[in-house]
Amino acid sequence: MNRSEAAQNILEMRRFKREVTASPEAARQALKEAGIMTEDGRIADPYKSLFKRRSTGCTEEVQV
């Protein structure tokens, strides 16, 4: 990939970001097209572990 092609790819990625972040509906549609979200709005099985919330302990209240 030469410099011109890299620059073009960056421009295309920025365009895609603007489209996807334009509205919540556009974001959901992009997640569906990527296979991350199912048609009924749930997280697809291969990605569920990425969205599980686990306590890191760093936000626990500390008494001094």
d(C-alpha 16, C-alpha 34), whole Å: 13
- The mean predicted confidence, pLDDT, of the chain is 88
Half-sphere exposure of 25 (CA within 13 A, CB side): 0
Per residue in 3-29, pLDDT tens?
999 999 999 999 999 999 999 999 999
- Long-range contacts of residues 41-45, Cβ cutoff 8 Å, at least 24 apart: none
CB within 8 Å of 41: residues ≥ 6 apart: 28
| pLDDT of 51 | 79
Average pLDDT over residues 26-50: 92
d(C-alpha 13, C-alpha 15), whole Å: 5
d(C-alpha 47, C-alpha 32), whole Å: 12
